[in-house]
Chains A and B, each alone.
Chain A
Amino acid sequence: MKNGAYKTIELALYYVLIFFILREWLTPIMSITGIGYVDLILLFIALCLAISLFRLPIFISWIMKISYISWFIVYVYSDLSIFSNEGIQFLLNELLYNFALMFQGEFFHITNSFQSILFFILIWMLVYLVHHWLTVRMNIFYFLVLTVVFIGILDTFTDYDGTTAIVKVVLLGLLMMVFLFVKRLMLQSGISFNWYNYLKLALPVLLMIGMVGLVGALLPKASPQWPDPVPYIKTMAGQGNGLGGPVKKIGYDEDDSQLGGSFVGDDTVVFIAHATTKQYWRVETKDVYTSKGWETSHSDELASISLGEPIHHFHSLPVGPDEKRQFAHIELRYPYDFIIQPYGLISIDARTDVENPIRLIMNLETEKISTDYAGEFLYHVEYSTPEYLYSDLTSTIQQPIDSSIQEKYLQLPESLPQRVIDLAKEIVEGKESDYDKARAIESYFRLNGFRYETEGVPVPDEGQDYVDQFLFESKIGYCDNFSTAMVVMLRAVGIPARWVKGFAGGEVIASDGDLKTYEITNNDAHSWVEAYIPKVGWVPFEPTIGFTTNRNIHYDFETDAYQDDMLTVDEDTEPDKLKDEQNEEMKQRNVEFTSFKNWLNHIGPILNIAFIGIVMASILLFIFRKRWMPKLYSRWLKHQTINEATFEIIYLRLLKVLELNGLQRKEGQTLQSFAKEVDEIFSSTHMSQITEAYENYIYGNKQQIDYGKVKECWENLINRTSS
């Protein structure tokens, strides 16, 4: 009886797991095919599982299932009650009608209700199969693999997102397999069930699964390593329309009048920068969007710049505080005829020969600084990264914007589709400051299913807008797509914006204290956005997925502007005092929060390294456990006291130590014969002596045992095992 109850509980556990796995099957089917009543169908699965769990007689099981299906059909497809004549009539009519259709071979005309019946029967069969796998085969592996493949396919080819489903299924399935494996083991070895044995077998594996899950959750996830197969398969199937247009090679290209198309990577080093921080390197800006690409409005305001002279007053960009001035050294490896500029550029200097000084010319429009020397050369730039006050950024006080800026940086082509403007307005709805609006647009792409791709990016067709195509059709692209789209949307909501070209930070190849050496390759050629925020000026934004901004924002919480911003809700109804308290608290909390965040950021790498270290050490310790465990155990045991009360424990531990050292007693082997074996190996008589004492102790029920001698033997044996 006890055994039977236990078996039922065990099976119930499996069924609960199976239920959750089956649910992962159903959910995507439901969402794709648009079948409703998920709960009722899940209930049917639960019913089937419960019936097979309690082994109800087959006719009861059939009656219950058929009744449920009938009830479902009548309930869902008619307003009638199953208990009324009309309801039964309806059901019969449906069945007859559809059977007739089936015999006539007109499968397309089969009604929804009949499809539901077939679906239920399918579930019925599936549950029966699962039951068979569980109780007869005791192996759920194929079912699990099928489930994972199924979800994988759905995830790849449909809108269904199987990220969590796969994780759930794999974890549940592993649990399931552990239970079944332990069960099989017990059956094979003929061990009757007991909790101790069961836990001894199952617990380590459960722990391991837990660990895998935890480590999996903690580890950073790489972006997909394989290109998405869908476009390829679609192209192969002849469905491609405009995808995968011309393929370009990445790199800094002056002509941006025709954007779009795929490109291939190129890791040629273009320059090397020695600087203290990773930063974006600016080359030029563009202002005219042509609906296909970018051009510059022709105005040749040029300024000649001398080496070493401050030039920031020519720049439209803000410069950071004087005390944070620093230098960066740039080694050009590619004969560019322009200067690579950090944000907050102050001056440029280079060692050149006096007779033939290099002349620098800056285009005040694009802010590109050209040289008349094209070749590999080394220069250093002095700069101070601009800092933005949060309060200034989010200030909602209207300030008149210079009309020249308005005119130039709010330009949009007339052909721009209205839906782009509508989308932009929708995104910024409810945002007060221009900065918040810009932030909203910046983060829009990350949250709305856009993907970073370098292949399969389309070129706009004749009459098609580049941004419109990206926002509403392809939704895949690289920096040009994201940055252009952001500039256009910013302009659409009235924020002046421009398109910036340059290079991303590159990779650290060497570091000497604070000073690091960055290697920038053609792959780092990049484009991003600058928006004109009143009171502050031009602020860089980074909409491209996978890149981060280098905005240097100073969060000044004390300012009123911030508080106002935080407390726009219910301002009138709150008493003033409470408001003040809340302000205080909020300030406090924010400060705490940021300091905690800073601290986390600060110790983040250390934590990661420590975590990896601990994991590695654990693995090593586990692999070499046979080497260190007996020694440690022996050392620990050596100083145990031996007396009447502890002798049994001591002797059993001795057996354990010997076992750890590879001397294992078989269950049917007597202690004496085992002791002889051990003594033969150690060529001593200690084991026999201690065993004799122990035999006297347990089989002879003797009280007088020479524990001094026992102790001597014990120490000797332990020394043997630990040396």
Chain B
Amino acid sequence: MHPKIEMIIKNIEKVMIGKREVAELSIVALLASGHVLLEDVPGVGKTMMVRALAKSVSADFKRIQFTPDLLPSDVIGVSIYNPKSLQFEFRPGPIVGNIILADEINRTSPKTQSALLESMEESSVSIDGEMFELPKPFFVMATQNPIEYEGTFPLPEAQLDRFLMKIHMGYPTALEEIEILRRAEKSAPIQNLEPVITIDELLAIQDEVKNVYVDDSVKGYIVQLARATREEPNVYLGVSPRGTLALMRACQAYAKIHNRDFVKPDDVQYLAPFVFSHRIILKPEARYEGLTVDEILNNIITKSVIPIKRFVEK
């Protein structure tokens, strides 16, 4: 494990109990310059997770609570006329920050959603023809509640593709839940979290991630999985090349976290469900039969052929 990353995770674990995997995956997305969609019922610690991460990195943390009446300018910011200087001045919205929590993203109108997603993709915002670079790192963790459908605007598939991964928080185990109660007796521990890594250090690691070696054989394996989702008869829409690229980036970050300078098929196998599951749409008949995307992905992974030889171009 990378020592710095280990420190971040340790820090998060001080406030989040039993969510090491989620923390690790979030950091993977952060290091891969991607964004995360957290999908789960309310109250399992999505916000806490993001805040703990932001605090550990000493990054600028912003939170946007999405509501149906939220406008794009409420997210991005507005230009306001300054009578003193006789000029329009840009007043940045909450999106201008390092780590953004976009809470309940499916509650707002598609217009606002796309404003957020566009800036996620471009890492910049444009107002009145002017481009504003967003600070680095720029990391969005959006949450979405899968239970409520009333008055929601589900994200279209094309938008979902913008997220590097989709992570489920899941309920804690009984022991973990007892531990949560025990800690809550004292005080809200989140206030006491100290940053363990500077922004510059984080950016340095982010840079290194790009240098993690991916052998052609492993690239072939990633492509093999992606293609399998497209050929799977139960799947209506398979993984796009953007998804393939996302998986490779995620794998690089994952390898970096584990202090390795190359990617193994194990990384691919581990990350594929998180990176692929929200990019696949099942056929209706498959859904009626009770098949889930996870089952199908699992099936594809077990049936895949692991490269065990050096890649030779044919």
B262 touches A667 (CB 8 A): no
Q: Is A672 on the interface with B (CB-CB < 8 A)?
A: yes
Q: Which of B101-109, B127-135, B283-291, B301-309 lines the interface with chain A?
A: B301-309
Assess whether A667 is in contact with B306, with CB atoms less than 8 Å apart: yes
Please report which residues of chain B, range 270-298, place their CB below 8 angstroms from some CB of chain A when the two chains form the complex: none
Per-residue contact bits, chain A 630-668, to B (CB 8 Å; 1 contact, 0 not) = 000000000000000000100110010000000000111
Among candidates A648, A655, A672, A699, residue contacting B215 with C-beta atoms closer than 8 Å: A699
A31 within 8 A of B: no
Rounded to whole angstroms, the CA-CA distance of A500 and B220 in the bound complex is 89
Chain B residue with the shortest CB-CB distance to A673: B266
Residues of A within 8 A of B266 (CB): 670, 672-673
Give chain A interface residues in 662-689, CB to chain B under 8 Å.
666-673
Q: How far is the CB of B5 from chain A (nearest CB, A)?
A: 20
Which residue on A lies nearest to B305, using beta carbons? A667
Instruction: Tell me if B240 counts as interface (CB < 8 A to partner A).
Output: no
Decide if A696 is an interface residue (CB 8 Å cutoff). Answer: yes
Is B301's CB under 8 angstroms from A700's CB? Answer: no
Considering the chains assembled together, what is the distance between the CA atoms of A667 and B304 in angstroms? 7
A668–B215 touching, CB < 8 Å = no
**Closest residue of A by beta carbon distance from B298:** A668
Interface assignment of B261: CB less than 8 Å from any CB of chain A: yes
B218 at the interface (CB under 8 A from A): yes
Is B304 touching A699 in the complex (CB atoms < 8 A)? no
Contact A701 B215 (CB under 8 A): yes
The 8 Å CB contact of B263, one of A669, A673, A699, is A699
CA A695 – CA B265 in complex, angstroms?
Answer: 9
Let me know if A700 and B215 touch, CB within 8 A: yes
Whether A698 pairs with B308 at a CB distance below 8 angstroms is yes
Contact B309 A698, beta carbon cutoff 8 Å: yes
Contact of A668 among B261, B264, B302, B310 (CB under 8 A): B302
Determine the distance from Cα of A268 to Cα of B171 in the docked complex, in whole angstroms. Answer: 93
Residues of A within 8 A of B73 (CB): none
Closest residue of B by beta carbon distance from A666: B302
The answer to whether B213 touches A700 (Cβ under 8 A) is: yes
B309, A652: Cβ atoms under 8 Å?
A: yes
CA distance A695 to B266 in the complex (A): 10
| Chain A contacts for B269, CB-based, 8 A | 670
Chain A residue contacts of B306, Cβ below 8 A: 667-671
Query: A interface, how many residues as a size bin?
Result: 10 to 19
Pairwise interchain contact B302-A671, C-beta atoms closer than 8 A: no
Residues A700 and B305 in contact in the complex (CB < 8 Å), given A648-B310, A672-B266, A673-B266: no
Partner of B262, one of A668, A671, A696: A696
- Among A651, A655, A666, A667, max chain B CB count under 10 A is at A667
What CA separation (Å) do A673 and B269 show in the bound complex?
11
Contacts of A668 in B (CB 8 A): 301-306
Do the beta carbons of B217 and A698 come within 8 Å of each other? yes
Contact present for B308 and A671 (CB under 8 Å): yes
**Distance from A702 Cβ to chain B, minimum over Cβ atoms (Å):** 8
Given contacts A666-B302, A700-B213, contact A695 B264 (CB under 8 A): yes
- Contact across chains for A670 and B261 when beta carbons are under 8 A apart: no
Q: Is the CB of B262 within 8 A of A670?
A: no
**What's the Cα separation between A210 and B37 when bound, in Å?**
64
Contact A667 B303 (CB under 8 A): yes
Is the Cβ of B308 less than 8 Å from the Cβ of A655? Answer: yes
Interface centre among A651, A655, A672 (most CB of B within 10 A): A672
Is A699 in contact with B302, judged by CB distance below 8 angstroms?
no
**Residues of A close to B260: CB separation below 8 A:** 700
Which chain B residues lie closer than 8 Å to A701 at the CB level?
213, 215, 262
Q: Which residues on A sit within 8 Å (CB–CB) of B261?
A: 700
Q: Which of A668, A670, A698, A699 has the most CB of B within 10 A?
A: A699
A60 to chain B, nearest CB (A): 38
Bound: A420/B271 CA distance, A: 97
Question: In the complex, how many angstroms separate the beta carbon of A468 from the nearest chain B beta carbon?
Answer: 80
A698 to B216, CA, bound (A): 10
> Cα distance A671–B308 when bound, in Å?
8
Set of chain A residues within 8 Å of B265, measured between Cβ atoms: 670-671, 699
Cβ contacts under 8 Å, B307 to chain A: 698
CA distance A702 to B213 in the complex (A): 10
Of chain B, the residue at the smallest CB distance from A700 is B262
Counting chain B CB atoms within 10 Å of each CB, which of A667, A670, A696 scores highest?
A: A670
Bound Cα distance A673, B268 (Å) = 13
Q: Which of B218, B303, B309 contacts A648 (CB 8 A)?
A: B309
Complex: chain B residue closest to A702, CB-CB: B262
Residues of A close to B262: CB separation below 8 A:
696, 699-702
**Residues of B close to A696: CB separation below 8 A:** 262
In the bound complex, CA of A140 to CA of B264 (Å): 48
Q: Which residues of B contact A698 (CB under 8 A)?
A: 215, 217, 307-310
Q: Are B303 and A699 interface neighbours, CB within 8 A?
A: no
In the complex, the chain B residue whose C-beta lies closest to that of A694 is B308
CB–CB B305/A699 < 8 A: no
Give bound CA distance, A672 to B265, whole Å. 9
In Å, the complex CA distance between A668 and B310 comes to: 17
B232 to chain A, nearest CB (A): 13
Complexed CA–CA distance, A701 and B310 (Å): 9
Is the pair B309, A699 in contact by a Cβ cutoff of 8 Å?
Answer: no
Q: What is the CA–CA distance of A416 and B307 in the complex, to the nearest angstrom?
A: 90
| Minimal beta-carbon separation of A653 from chain B (angstroms) | 12
Residues on A with C-beta less than 8 A from B215 are 698-701
Distance in angstroms from A678 CB to nearest chain B CB is 14
CA distance A435 to B208 in the complex (A): 104
- Evaluate contact between A699 and B301: CB separation under 8 angstroms: no
B299 closest partner in A (C-beta): A668
Q: Which residues of B contact A699 (CB under 8 A)?
A: 215, 217-218, 262-265
The CA-CA distance from A535 to B187 in the complex, in Å, is 135
Min C-beta distance of B143 to chain A, whole Å: 32
Interface residues in B232-269 by Cβ distance below 8 A to A read 260-266, 269
CA–CA, A651 and B265, complex, Å: 17
Bound state CA distance, A696 and B269, in angstroms? 17
Which chain A residues border B301 with CB–CB below 8 Å? 668
Q: How far is the CB of A689 from chain B (nearest CB, A)?
A: 15
Complex alpha-carbon distance, A666 and B306, angstroms: 9
Chain B residues with CB below 8 A from A702, complex form: 262
Chain B residues with CB under 8 A of A700: 213, 215, 260-262
Q: What is the CB-to-nearest-CB distance from A670 to chain B, in angstroms, rounded to a whole number?
A: 4
Interface centre among B263, B265, B304 (most CB of A within 10 A): B265
Question: Which residues 336-393 of A sit at the B interface, judged by CB distance below 8 A?
Answer: none
- CB-nearest residue of chain A relative to B310? A698
Residues 38 to 58 of chain B near chain A (Cβ within 8 Å): none
CA distance A205 to B306 in the complex (A): 30
CB distance from A669 to the nearest CB of B (A): 7
Instruction: Give residues 119-150 of A contacting B (CB, 8 Å).
Output: none
CB distance from A6 to the nearest CB of B (A): 19
Write the chain A residue with the least CB distance to B261: A700
* Contact call A670/B264, Cβ cutoff below 8 A: yes
List B contacts of A652 (CB < 8 A): 308-309
What CA separation (Å) do A328 and B118 show in the bound complex? 115
Q: Could you jot down 29 A-B contacts, CB within 8 Å?
A: A651-B308, A655-B308, A666-B302, A667-B304, A667-B305, A667-B306, A668-B303, A668-B306, A670-B265, A670-B266, A672-B266, A673-B266, A695-B264, A696-B262, A698-B215, A698-B217, A698-B308, A698-B309, A699-B215, A699-B217, A699-B218, A699-B262, A699-B263, A699-B264, A700-B260, A701-B213, A701-B215, A701-B262, A702-B262
20 other contacts beyond A667-B303, A700-B213, with CB at 8 A cut-off?
A666-B302, A667-B305, A667-B306, A668-B302, A668-B303, A670-B264, A670-B265, A670-B306, A671-B265, A671-B306, A672-B264, A695-B264, A698-B215, A698-B309, A698-B310, A699-B217, A699-B218, A699-B263, A700-B215, A701-B262
